[in-house]
Amino acid sequence: MSVELTEGPEAVEQLAEVLRDRTWTALTGAGASTDSGIPDYRGPTSVRATPMQFSEFIGATSAQQRYWARSYLGWERMGTARPNPAHQALVELESAGLVGVVTQNVDGLHARAGSRLVVNLHGEIAWVVCLDCGTRVHRGEVQRWLRDLNPGLIGQPPAEHAELRPDGDAVVEEWRHFVLACCAACGGRLKPDVVFFGESVPKDRVQFAHDLVDAGEVLVVLGSSLTVMSGLRFVRHLAKQGKDVVIVNRGVTRGDPLATLKIDGGCAETLAPLVGALR
C-alpha cells in the first residue's frame, strides 16, 4: 500500500526506513537539477517551451539553424552549471546502499559531482555527434566554431538574459541568418549527442540501465514526473517484480499508483538529511 508524505523529518525518516541496510538505485529527472539553475518542463520551475522533435531537426536546415542559435547561447549557462546538494548527497549515499544512478538529464552534473556509476539515459549535452559519419567532438570545440562563424551573436542577447530551456538552449528571436558548423571529418550535420523527443534511446544503453535498476532492491525516483516512457518503464518493471519503489517529486507523477512511498518535496531538501539518517 502506498504511503504519501510531504517533505520534512517524517518523510526523511520513512525513506530511511525503506532504504536502511538495502541496496537501491536512483532514477533522476529534471527536478534533481533545478537547484543548479536548470529549469524543467513540467514542474514548478518549468518554462513554457515545446522541445525540438528529432524529425523536425533532421527534416529542415531552418530547424537546425533555430536549434543551434538557441543552443549556442544556452550553453553559456548550461555549460557552467554546478552540482547542487542533491547531486552531492547521492555521492555520499554510495556508502549507504546506493549502487548507481540512472538519469534522464543531459547536464552531466552527477558525474561532475563525483558519482561513480551513472547511466546517462538521454545522452550528454557536453558532446556533439555527426549525423552522417558518427564522429563525436566536445561541445566546447563546437562552441568555438559557432562563435567564429557568427561573431555578431556574441552577447546578443547576453546569455544571462536569455530564457534557458531544460534541454540546454535559450530563447532566441533572430536565428534565420545563423551559420551552422559542419563536421570537421566529413562536412556532415552536427547534433548534440542527446536523445531528442521522438528519437529512440540506444538499446544497449537501455539494457545497461535495466541491469543497474535490477541490481538494487529498491528504486528511488528523484525529480521526475515520469511523463515519458523512458523513465516510467523502470518503475513498472520494479513494481512487477514486487520490489519497493519510492518517488520524491514535487507534484503528481505517472508512477504514483505503483509507489511504496511518495514524498511530495524537493530532491535536495530530502536527500541532504537522508545522508545523516542512514549513517
**Binding site: residue ranges?**
130, 133, 183, 186
Buried b (16+ CB within 10 A) or exposed e, 11-49: bbebbbebbeeeebbbbbbbbbbbbbebbbbbbebbeeb
All 3 cell numbers of residue 90?
Answer: 547521492
Nearest CA among 28, 129, 159, 127 for reference residue 83: 28
Binding-site residues from annotation for Zn(2+): 130, 133, 183, 186
Single-letter code of the amino acid located at 50 = T
All 3 cell numbers of residue 29?
Answer: 529527472
Alpha-carbon span 46 to 223, nearest angstrom: 12
Catalytic residue among 110, 122, 210, 237: 122
Alpha-carbon span 100 to 209, nearest angstrom: 10
Angle at 68 between CA 65 and CA 71, to 5 degrees: 150
Total length of the chain: 279
Please indicate whether residue 122 is annotated as part of the active site. yes
Would you please indicate which residues are annotated as catalytic (active-site) residues? 122
